[in-house]
Amino acid sequence: MFSVVSRASPQSGRIAPQMDHIARKKKRMTPFQTIILGFAAVVLVGALILMLPISSAQGNFTPFHEALFTSTSAVCVTGLVIHDTGTYWSYFGKSVILLLIQVGGLGVITVAASFALLSGRKISLLQRSTMQEAIAAPKVGGIVRLTGFILKATFLMEFAGAVAMMPVFIKDHGPSGIFMAFFHSVSAFCNAGFDVMGKSSGAFSSLTSYSSSIVINVVIMLLIIIGGIGFLTWEDVYTNKFHLKRYRMQSKVIFTVTGILILLPAVFFFIFDLSDLPMKERILGSFFQAITPRTAGFNTYDLTALSGVGKAIMIALMLIGGSPGSTAGGMKTTTLAVLFASTAAVFSRQEEPHMFGRRIENHVVRYASAILIMYITLFSIGAMLISGIDKVPIDKCFFETASAVGTVGLSQGITPSLSVGSHIILMVLMFLGRVGGLTVIFAAISGNHPRMSKLPQERITVG
């Protein structure tokens, strides 16, 4: 009996480390799960700080769900608010919100990686993989260098935007205009839509008092566009300059779709919804209202006065959003382009869709279809639940949920008056919209191995 035990013990000694290794491997989080938990942690910490009396202008404790809503909106760079940012929060509270916007715009993983780089620590392969997913980079190689480029470009653009707007804000608001310039520059670049105009222009007024200011309109629009086209697109422009043929196909698609989504809605708003404005405000307003739904959340015009078609166009723009690897949310411009390319391939009887002389892989089309269905489902179910809970007209609920899941921040004015249940629904939509459709899908299915066998095939008719 003793000899049997002695023979078995070396084998058990070899098995134990193997089992421990397997257990550790199973417990290791995927990059997608790390991104989601990172965002959730920052949201919670932000909420706890915003609850403190020092964060509110009146020195009162803010209820947890209200602080959580504000923190979620800031980290998810949305802009939907329960309290007017300019009047309710103290300078400390506004600074916390500004920091949350910056972290949310750059991405929690990017910010964490930047601290690791500054401290001189080495970035592990798993961390590099997580960074790759966070900024939608095509490969792990060069990810640290790309992160450094993103940080430098971000702070340079935000500083330039603040300096450009500073003379206007200082003229109108005195020394506090300096803070206002930096706040709105960061908020615009990060596509957040938070504003601090409440004390001077009235609560929830956004930038309506600057509808005729060329400087404020142009700077805000440029910051929104630059922040929303994506970090990889910046690198393409920086590397290849005006040699458009050298650009990645993705960059070409982003520029094309972005241009179309700005020009066509602007023409509609100019001809129909803003026809009663003076010519300068009409031109500025048309382009501003076409750009801000993707996905910035500022407005220079009373959105409740828009026509039904105008509101429908804004809902579509909010759901589409910006581009991959950017500060913007939404389904993304590339998702829309892939779906249209797939449709064109069906009509032209081609096996695979293509754009700019390049073929689109079938799994990309499947991902695009899944993201479309996910966003439409979230947006629709969220609106119906809010309408049922608070007895609000469904069209206003559709606008609000599109704004939340697209991380836009535009509102029909119903968010502050909604119940806690509806606020929770909006928070969930904002969070899912910010972390991204693919991130949610891949985090949910991690650990589920693809089916190797195939089921019997049977034909089904569609259309």
Instruction: Place 160 in a pLDDT band, splitting at 50, 70 and 90.
Output: very high
pTM of the entire predicted model: 0.88
* pLDDT at 9 exceeding the cut of 60: no
* pLDDT at 442 exceeding the cut of 70: no
Give the residue numbers spanning the domain of 164: 27-442
Who contacts 416 (Cβ-Cβ below 8 Å, separation ≥6)?
Answer: 81, 82, 83, 204
Instruction: Place 140 in a pLDDT band, splitting at 50, 70 and 90.
Output: low
Separation of alpha carbons 101 and 183, rounded Å: 10
Residue 117 maps to a domain: yes
Q: What is the pLDDT averaged over residues 252-262?
A: 96
Q: What is the pLDDT averaged over residues 375-382?
A: 95
Residue 448 maps to a domain: no
| 431-441 pLDDT tens trace | 988 887 666 76
| 168-196 pLDDT tens trace | 999 999 999 999 999 999 999 999 999 99
| 26-49 pLDDT tens trace | 456 777 777 788 888 999 999 999
Who contacts 98 (Cβ-Cβ below 8 Å, separation ≥6)?
Answer: 182, 183, 186, 187, 194
Element of type H or E holding 216: helix 214-228
**Count of the separate structural domains present in the chain:** 1
Residue 155 maps to a domain: yes
Measure the CA angle with vertex 277, ends 272 and 279; round to 5°: 100
| 298-342 pLDDT tens trace | 999 999 899 999 999 999 999 999 998 888 889 999 999 999 999
Q: What is the dihedral of CA 428, 431, 437, 439, to 10 degrees?
A: -120
3-state secondary structure 318-360: HHHCCCCCCCCCCCCHHHHHHHHHHHHHHHCCCCCCEECCEEC
Residue 105 maps to a domain: yes
Residues in the chain: 463
Residue 455 maps to a domain: no
* pLDDT at 395 exceeding the cut of 80: yes
Residue 3 maps to a domain: no
Residue 178 maps to a domain: yes
Separation of alpha carbons 195 and 101, rounded Å: 12
Which range (236-245, 268-277, 384-393) has the least confidence? 236-245
Residue 156 maps to a domain: yes
